[in-house]
């Protein structure tokens, strides 16, 4: 499951991984400046440190950092490993305009990317795995070979490739799985993982045929199909609308334990359904009503009423 900045923090990872069937999930990126990250920040952002760096259901978590200072990234990686991280990922893929000299902006500087990966790898003990997340390039897909060679240093286990450039952002028509096909030979000792619009079993099958990848990173599709990993790996039936609504009940219950106000809890429940309805348009009428909810009790009542209505209609059919 992808890092999903702003979406998949600890409580949301708890819910999504419990159903997802993922082999691995990622923390949201932790921004590293010219100062090493503090232990307090790591534990606050990654509650999984208290559970052997796994989500409550047992899904392994990989700690992801974003920054442009090789030394402080390396020191932060070592600190995370000492807290229990079994693997570290460096983010060169985030295209946010709020991320300046880091993330996907560094795709313009392959030498610095290479230095970061070498410095972090040298600082970590061999048993701590290292990976990177990149895009096909900054402005042009022709940059992809240079990007891969920059991060495929000795000791890097995996490279996830979002199949768009930074310039493309998340444009639907810019997605290009085919550009990954010839990149494998440039990273002979690392596994390439395909990322970008893999939201169903059909997508994964097609992506594998085009990219020659056997591993996939799934992102926002995890909201519309909370059991997406099981769907791709085992051919399970995607969650029904009822299952999605029940998952949102869990979102409320989990976030209610850690968020101080009802508004914050309901905002996350609305966020969950908001992303789910992008792919499951039949949720739209209920979502419009649900968005007017203010209290947790009202939200739960609406969800349970809609679940009962859906189940009744299903039994009638």
pLDDT in tens, 149-160: 999 999 999 999
d(CA 214, CA 207): 9
What number is the average pLDDT over the span 164-191?
96
pLDDT at 99 over 90: no
State both tokens at 43.
Answer: 């534990």
What is the pLDDT confidence band of residue 314, given thresholds at 50, 70 and 90?
confident
What number is the average pLDDT over the span 203-229?
97
- Percent of the chain exceeding pLDDT 70 equals 99
Is residue 30 helix, strand or coil? Answer: strand
Q: Are 94 and 104 in contact (CB under 8 A)?
A: yes
Looking at residue 266, its pLDDT comes to: 98
pLDDT at 315 over 90: no
Catalytic (active-site) positions: 94
Which tens digits make up the pLDDT trace of 262-289?
Answer: 999 999 999 999 999 999 999 999 999 9
d(CA 197, CA 162): 9
What is the pLDDT confidence band of residue 317, given thresholds at 50, 70 and 90?
low
Q: Are 3 and 28 in contact (CB under 8 A)?
A: yes
Backbone φ and ψ of 124, nearest 5°: -85, 150
What is the pLDDT confidence band of residue 96, given thresholds at 50, 70 and 90?
confident
Looking at residue 143, its pLDDT comes to: 98
pLDDT at 103 over 90: yes
What number is the average pLDDT over the span 185-204?
97
Q: Are 71 and 115 in contact (CB under 8 A)?
A: no
What is the pLDDT confidence band of residue 73, given thresholds at 50, 70 and 90?
very high
Looking at residue 28, its pLDDT comes to: 96
What number is the average pLDDT over the span 18-30?
97
What number is the average pLDDT over the span 118-141?
98
pLDDT at 188 over 70: yes
Q: Are 205 and 191 in contact (CB under 8 A)?
A: no
pLDDT at 97 over 80: no
Q: What is the pTM of this model?
A: 0.94
C-alpha atoms less than 13 angstroms from C-alpha of 33 in its C-beta half-sphere: 2
pLDDT at 100 over 80: no
């Amino acid at each position: 499951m992808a890092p999903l900045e702003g979406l998949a923090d600890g409580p949301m990872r708890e819910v999504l991984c419990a159903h997802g069937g993922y082999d691995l999930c990622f923390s949201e990126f932790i921004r590293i400046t010219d100062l090493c990250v503090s232990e307090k920040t790591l534990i606050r952002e990654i509650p999984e440190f208290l559970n052997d760096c796994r989500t409550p259901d047992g899904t392994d978590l990989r700690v992801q950092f974003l920054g442009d200072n090789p030394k402080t990234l390396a020191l932060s990686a070592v600190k995370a490993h000492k807290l229990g991280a079994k693997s570290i990922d460096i983010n060169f893929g985030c295209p946010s305009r709020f991320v300046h000299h880091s993330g996907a902006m560094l795709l313009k500087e392959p030498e610095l990317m290479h230095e970061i990966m070498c410095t972090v790898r040298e600082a970590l003990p061999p048993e701590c795995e290292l990976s990177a997340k990149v895009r096909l390039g900054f402005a042009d897909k022709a940059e992809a070979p240079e990007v891969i060679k920059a991060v495929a240093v000795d000791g890097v286990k995996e490279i996830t490739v979002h199949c768009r450039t930074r310039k493309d952002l998340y444009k639907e028509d810019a997605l290009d799985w085919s550009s990954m096909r010839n990149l494998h030979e440039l990273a002979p000792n690392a596994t390439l993982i395909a990322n970008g619009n893999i939201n169903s079993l059909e997508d994964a099958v097609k992506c594998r045929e085009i990219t020659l990848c056997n591993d996939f990173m799934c992102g926002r599709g995890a909201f519309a199909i909370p059991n997406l990993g099981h769907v791709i790996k085992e051919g399970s039936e995607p969650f029904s609308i009822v299952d999605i609504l029940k998952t949102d009940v869990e979102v409320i219950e989990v976030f209610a334990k850690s968020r101080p106000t009802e508004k914050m809890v309901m905002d996350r429940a609305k966020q969950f359904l908001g992303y789910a309805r992008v792919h499951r348009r039949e949720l739209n009428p209920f979502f419009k009503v649900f968005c007017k909810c203010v209290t947790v009790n009202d939200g739960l009542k609406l969800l349970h009423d809609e679940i009962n209505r859906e189940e009744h209609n299903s039994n009638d059919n």
